[in-house]
Every structure is written in structure tokens, then in C-alpha cells.
Amino acid sequence: MTILLLALRRLAASVPTLLLILAGLFLLLQLAPGDTVDALMAQMGGGDPATADELRRFYGLDLSATAQLGRYLWRLVRFDLGVSAIYGKPVATVIAERLPVTLLLAGSALVLSFAGGTLLGIVAARRLDRWPDTLISTLGLAFYATPSFWFGLMGIVLFSIRLGWLPAGGYEEVGGGLTGLARALDIARHLVLPSLTLALVFLATYLRIMRASMLEVMSLDFVRTARAKGMGETGIVVRHALRNALLPMVTLVGLQAGTMLGGSVVVESVFALPGLGRLAYESVVQRDLNTLLGIVFVSALLVIAVNFAVDLVYGRLDPRIAAGR
């Protein structure tokens, strides 16, 4: 119960942060040369100034910056993100259409990198300074140093073009007419390369933290006690050390949530996935400010939600945190 209160308090503390982000971004976008109407007019192949003025009035762009900011924040409170000028639909609808793809991509990448990092980190820590440790640590560094989009492109070359095992891009077979399980399998096949691409970069960080955390925990007194009881090494690692060593890993999930979303911009662009990241890229190119602000708002909400979940998991992993307060 205490942990829930604690997490809720941290959640409440993130509200001013959110406001700060929105106000800052809104003011930043005021500095942008050209607005949505300019982009629209350019798309229509030019037009007379009267039409432009009318459009500006329609989108509320003729008001002062502060009035626009006030209006924007008030609408956000009601979760009305405005209308996307480029797509001609409410921004909330556009984002809702794209969100599942990104959540699926980031979620599977998170699971892959967390599980892989935990496993490899334990192996490296158990074989400290011998060849498995050297190999894993070196691979981790190499993954960390590689740009994710390059991984993605090379994955396409190898697995899609040379071997023909996996599709090179897209979310599902267009016009396949698949439903139910067949469709889910099709989507999963399309997501293998993108999630691996996104996961590899984070795998490096996770395994490094897991290795360091495992080394620290294994030197603590309670592990020595377990050894003195005559417990086997595997038992000590699984039953005693793992849970304690996982704490920094869970913290990392919260810290990396934003980076993960940022990384999906690039990965979605490489694999032509219709997700939130690509929407952000498109709206930057098309200067669709409403959509861009909407995406940033939703991303910030996601990061805050992930951190709330992290707080709760933290309490479960370490009962002292819940009892301490």
C-alpha cells in the first residue's frame, strides 16, 4: 500500500514537469519559420492571402502566442489534441492508429534486451575475466557503438535479400486478407528484424549494468552465508542474487523509456513501419505542428507511465522500500 502511495506521489510530481515540457515546446514551435497554413498552401500549389487568413482563423493561428498556449493546454486537459492539418483527422485518432505498432515494437525490443541482457550479464559475471566474459563484454561494446539504422539495413541485406527468410519492411502483408492467428503470425514475422534491431543497442547497456550489479551482489554477506550453508552456485544465483541484482536493471527500464521511443523513430523509418516514430518524422517534414505536439505529449505520458510502473515493480522486488516509509 505504501509503495502505491509513494509511486502516486511521484506520479503527481510529474504533472508540473509535463506542463513545463508542453509550454516550452509550444514556445519553441512559435519560433519556427512558417506554420501549418504555409505548408498547406504550398501543398495546394499556392493561393491568395485571403484564403490563408481564413485558414489561419480556422486553425486559431491568428491569436497571440500566449492565448494559443492557453487554449492548447485547456484542450489537452480534455484530451483533445486538435486536428492534424496534413491528415485531416483529429490528432488523437491519428496517434491512436499508430500507437499500437510502436508499443508492440518497443515492448518486444524491451523484453528481448532485458531478458538477453540479464542472461548475458549473469554469464559474464560468473565467468569474470575469462573468455565468456571477454567475448560478451566485447560484443556488448560493439553493439553499443553501432548505429541502429545500420544494423537494420544490414539485417535486411542478410535476412531479407540474401537469405529471403524475413520480410524487408512493412507491418503486415498488404492485401493478404489474413485474420486472427494467421494475421498475428504475419505481424510477428514482420516485427522480428525491427525489434532485434532496436533491442541490440539496448542489450549492450542492460548486460553491462547486469554484469556490474551481479558482481556487486555476489560479494555481499548474504551470498557468503548461502555458500556457507552449502548451497550450489546455480541456486545462489537464481534464488538469492538474481532478485537483488535486478533492481538497477528495473531502474534502467525507466531511464531508457524515452530513448527507446526515440530509437523507434529511426527503426520505424528503416523498416517502413506505420508507427508513432514515423508519424513524428512525417509531421516534422510536413510541419504539422499539432500532430508533432500531440506525439510529444503522448510520448511524455508514456515515459511517465513506464516510470510509474517501474516504481511499483521496485516495491515488489525490494520490500524494504515499501516498508521503509
Residues that bind another protein (CB under 8 A): 14, 16-18, 20-21, 24-25, 28-29, 31-32, 141-142, 144-150, 153-154, 156-157, 161, 205, 208-209, 211-212, 255, 258-263, 265-266, 269, 280-281, 284, 287, 292, 295-296, 299-300, 303-304
CB of 229 to another protein, least distance (A): 29
Question: Which residues on neighbouring strands pair with residue 204, listed in sequence order?
Answer: none
Count of CA atoms in the C-beta half-sphere (13 A) of 203: 27
Residue 136 φ then ψ, to 5°: -65, -45
CB of 61 to another protein, least distance (A): 16
Nearer to another protein among residue 16 and residue 230 (C-beta): 16
CB of 177 to another protein, least distance (A): 27
Nearer to another protein among residue 244 and residue 299 (C-beta): 299
User: Cβ contacts of residue 70 below 8 Å, gap of 6+?
Assistant: none
Per-residue exposure over 256-289, b if at least 16 CB sit within 10 Å of its own CB, e if not: bbeebbebbbbbbbbbebbbbbbbbbbbeebbbb
CB of 82 to another protein, least distance (A): 17
Contact assessment for residue 302 and residue 260, using Cβ atoms and an 8 Å cutoff: no
CA distances from 324 to 170, 313, 318 (A): 49, 16, 10
Nearer to another protein among residue 32 and residue 188 (C-beta): 32
Nearer to another protein among residue 205 and residue 244 (C-beta): 205
CB of 32 to another protein, least distance (A): 4
